[in-house]
Structure 1
Amino acid sequence: MTDNTADTPAPAARNRPDGLFNRFIKATEMDTRLLGMIGALALIWVGFHLYGQLVNGFGAFLTPRNLWNLSVQTASIGIMATGMVLVIVTRHIDLSIGSVLGFCAMIMGVTQVYILPQLIGLGHPLLWILAICSGLLVGTMVGALHGFLIAYGKIPAFIVTLGGLLVWRGAAFLVARGETISPVDPTFALLGGGPYGAIGATGSWIIGAIGCAAVLGMMWLGRKRRRGFGFAMRPVWAETFLAIAGCGAVIGAVLLVNAYYWPKGIVKRHVAETGITVPEGGLFISHGFAIPVLILVAVAILMTILMSRTRFGRYVYAIGGNPEAAELAGINTRWMTVKIFALTGFLTGLSAVVASARLGSATNSLGTLDELYVIAAAVIGGTSLAGGIGTIYGAVLGAFVMQSLQTGMVLIGFDAAIQQVVVGSVLVFAVFLDILYRRNSK
């Protein structure tokens, strides 16, 4: 007769209720890693702000100006990080992404400064559009080439992209012999942000209203789908909390970007150019959401839909979970690899648009070391280097964490050497946490 008393939980342990936090997480179904990243981001922001107050007598981090600039600076890295998630989830790596960005930027710079003006004329309304298309096309082709060599050439992704890091950086130099290409088309430059590269207060409130409507619509649609499939429903209080939290985050973001006003010098020039009447108390013009941030949000939403609502996304996670089983199940893993790297190249080209427009020129050094920040953003955001695990929103939050660290260290006066030490340490620590998380989840 077998004794099962050792395997049977004691009545007290069996009936012990979950803690308040565990019940909250279970009811709301929130990702604990997401909450951890948000908490870490808040801790970084508050820490740098308080450090500035103690050392310099004022905190410069938690100000509308710095947070607005932080969001713009994060856009380029965040866009590429959404593509890097797919690469790492499928157990590959892309070390060439920064060099490809620089190469795409140089192609777009030469196209809009030297080539197109001779063909269609300087200031043509299609000039900036054709320049962007050239950068996106080049990025997609380079990514597809990398994917082809990896999938069909059976060359490890590490070697292919390490070679690409050198090849495309050299190619960027050869395009214009190392010269800085400027000035870019004025409309193209708006995609980099700045006072004119933002949508203003009214446009931001419209975006905010659309965002709140989207949050409420997703909550309603999710509840309807659960009821239709007979799944367990979240408590009403949990649904209400998530709706309030989502709308509150959107409204808070709108209030923040609208609290950052144009500099006085730009306002004076704007008044002189337009001839508007300045009120007695002065003229305050809000920046609103910057265009690069809106591009990042749009990319994050589309990539999230791609990864969670399409067959392509399911294939990506299947390949990352078990490549052999995915191939036996009928998934063309080699063609999927080509498409994943091509998509990453497309997003790199889009990031090159934002980066070069923000700089107002194309330089050979643009994108240097960006590959490290992109990989770090994806890993910090919860993408596992072992493959099969990763989220788009996590990568975007990881990009904010990386950029917050860099911006905060600049504000408090850390030199470049210390910044590199901190960034490298954070990356190693993030991988260590990922190992612990996977070990404990087994």
Structure 2
Amino acid sequence: MSDTTTGTSANAPKKRSLFQQLEVDTRLLGMIGAFLLICIAFSIFTDGRFLSARNIFNLTIQTVSVAIMATGMVFIIVTRHIDLSVGAILAVCSATMGMVQAQWLPQALGFGSFWIAPLTIIAGLVVGTLIGVFNGWLVGYQGIPAFIVTLGGLLVWRNVAWYITGGQTIGPLDPTFLIFGGAEGTMGVTWSWIIGIAACLAAVYALWSARRSKLAHEFPVKPVWAEVALGVIFCAAILGFVWILNAYLIPEGRLERVFEARGEVMPEGYVEGHGLPISVLILILVAVVMTLVARKTRLGRYIFATGGNPDAAELSGINTKMLTVKVFAIMGFLCGLSAVVASARLTFHTNDIGTLDELRVIAAAVIGGTALSGGIGTIYGAILGALIMQSLQSGMGMVGVDAPLQNIVVGAVLVFAVLIDILYRKRWGGK
């Protein structure tokens, strides 16, 4: 009798706690909690201005450039490398695009040509990708440490950007190009709601598809009520974000100019919201693509396998040298894309564009949970890390904190985030 009881209990499935059933990411919850505390604290100190529709709109478009590069930095750090040149690559891409659209192409195609904006963007993306490939070749095939390659690149590319423009501020930029900067380019209220609803449907489908896949492979799944609650939270967050952006009204003077350009008179009392900035939409698309690459492709599996154990990855047949080139090429491409957003938001190219962005990008990835030891990192974590950093800087600026003290706080937060990461991995055995 005792033998039967023992055998039955030994074969019975181990009971999982509520947190295990819900598969709660405690690190993500911690980051979300920290972000909410930052928002509440600054909202109190600014009499609610921090959480106003206007400030949230500005906060999102200010975060985009660093967040886009942070998604690429996740892959770099996961493979146990570092890239200190991302700010300088952004600068040289911005300088190239500034000259292409302000001086070179207008001479060949004429001012106002439709092709100026697309050719300018292609030029910036190509320059960034080629620099990334060059960095990856030096690291992967020549064996030079990434720290040295990109530290040298920080100095080289920053000054190449200066020589391209002759040290001058370049502008005005093409009007079509400027729509990628944020304030000048938004989707409008109607299209923002359409995109928000589509995003909700996509989120619900992703949850349902993941649950079906787990059931098909007989993996444990969350309770149905937890899946439903998660879907409701996702949809509420998406639609709430769209509602806030739509609530930020376009200035009356700008609306009048729009109606005048059409040859119409603006109706009395007419108002219109900004809606979703195109730059934020670009970040969302980058996040989705990078997440799919990380989770659903062979390249993503190779990246995380190499970061977890480079020697074992190479012995298993992974071409780690070419993988390094690909990872740095992705980083270079994203630097070019960030240059589009950053220069369009500023409406011109300046010599100091992207200064210290390398530190902000690395900090965003690390605060978002990417392990400097390699093998661990998430795209959504890096974006949340960028948002936390930008919220800190924006909030401190609104309450009148001096710029040097702002940098001190950001540096302290970075060190604290690494400490928390170390303690977390010790507590959970590296999981």
TM-score band (shorter)?
A: over 0.9
Which residue is equivalent to 1:314? 301
Question: Which is further off, 291-300 or 58-67?
Answer: 58-67
- Amino acid aligned to 1:138: V
1:357 & 1:295 partners in 2: Cα distance? 13
For the pair 1:152 / 2:146, whether they are aligned, the reply is no
Which residue is equivalent to 1:98? 87
> CA deviation digits over 1:228-252, x for unaligned, max 9?
2222232110111111111111111
Please tell me whether the aligned partners of residues 21 and 221 of structure 2 are also in contact (alpha carbons under 8 angstroms): no
Which ranges in structure 1 are unaligned for 5 or more consecutive residues? 1-16, 53-57
Match of 2:228 among 226, 240, 244: 240
Percent identical residues: 54
Match of 1:46 among 40, 48, 54: 40
> How far has the Cα of 1:113 moved from its partner?
1.3
Deviating beyond 4 angstroms after TM superposition, the runs of 4 or more aligned structure 1 residues are 275-280
Which residue is equivalent to 1:351? 338
> CA deviation digits over 1:380-403, x for unaligned, max 9?
000010111100000000000010
1:414 & 1:226 partners in 2: Cα distance? 49
Which residue is equivalent to 1:4? none
1:197 & 1:100 partners in 2: Cα distance? 25
SS in 1 for 2:49: coil
SS in 1 for 2:50: coil
Aligned positions, number: 417
Match of 1:176 among 146, 154, 165: 165
1:273 & 1:117 partners in 2: Cα distance? 24
Please tell me whether the aligned partners of residues 256 and 266 of structure 2 are also in contact (alpha carbons under 8 angstroms): no
- Amino acid aligned to 1:77: V
> How far has the Cα of 1:176 moved from its partner?
1.3
Question: Which is further off, 185-194 or 228-237?
Answer: 228-237
1:212 & 1:115 partners in 2: Cα distance? 43
1:199 & 1:185 partners in 2: Cα distance? 19
SS in 1 for 2:374: coil
SS in 1 for 2:51: coil
Please tell me whether the aligned partners of residues 27 and 238 of structure 1 are also in contact (alpha carbons under 8 angstroms): no
> How far has the Cα of 1:276 moved from its partner?
4.5
For the pair 1:214 / 2:202, whether they are aligned, the reply is yes
> How far has the Cα of 1:219 moved from its partner?
1.9
> How far has the Cα of 1:27 moved from its partner?
2.7
TM-score by length of 2: 0.94
After TM superposition, list the pairs within 5 Å mapping 1:188-199 onto structure 2: 188-194=177-183, 196-199=184-187
Please tell me whether the aligned partners of residues 98 and 371 of structure 1 are also in contact (alpha carbons under 8 angstroms): yes
Alpha-carbon RMSD? 1.6
Match of 2:132 among 115, 121, 143: 143
For the pair 1:405 / 2:399, whether they are aligned, the reply is no
Question: Which is further off, 373-382 or 223-232?
Answer: 223-232
Match of 1:338 among 289, 302, 325: 325
SS in 1 for 2:113: coil
- Amino acid aligned to 1:170: N
> How far has the Cα of 1:264 moved from its partner?
2.4
- Amino acid aligned to 1:359: L
> How far has the Cα of 1:375 moved from its partner?
0.4
For the pair 1:35 / 2:22, whether they are aligned, the reply is no
Which residue is equivalent to 1:372? 359
Which residue is equivalent to 1:429? 416
Please tell me whether the aligned partners of residues 306 and 313 of structure 1 are also in contact (alpha carbons under 8 angstroms): yes
> How far has the Cα of 1:220 moved from its partner?
1.9
> How far has the Cα of 1:271 moved from its partner?
3.5
2:242 & 2:93 partners in 1: Cα distance? 32
TM-score by length of 1: 0.92
> How far has the Cα of 1:279 moved from its partner?
4.6
1:114 & 1:256 partners in 2: Cα distance? 39
Please tell me whether the aligned partners of residues 199 and 290 of structure 1 are also in contact (alpha carbons under 8 angstroms): yes
1:234 & 1:140 partners in 2: Cα distance? 41
Which residue is equivalent to 2:407? 420
2:48 & 2:221 partners in 1: Cα distance? 44
Please tell me whether the aligned partners of residues 172 and 347 of structure 2 are also in contact (alpha carbons under 8 angstroms): yes
After TM superposition, list the pairs within 5 Å mapping 1:263-302 onto structure 2: 263-276=251-264, 278-280=266-268, 282-302=269-289
Which ranges in structure 2 are unaligned for 5 or more consecutive residues? 1-14
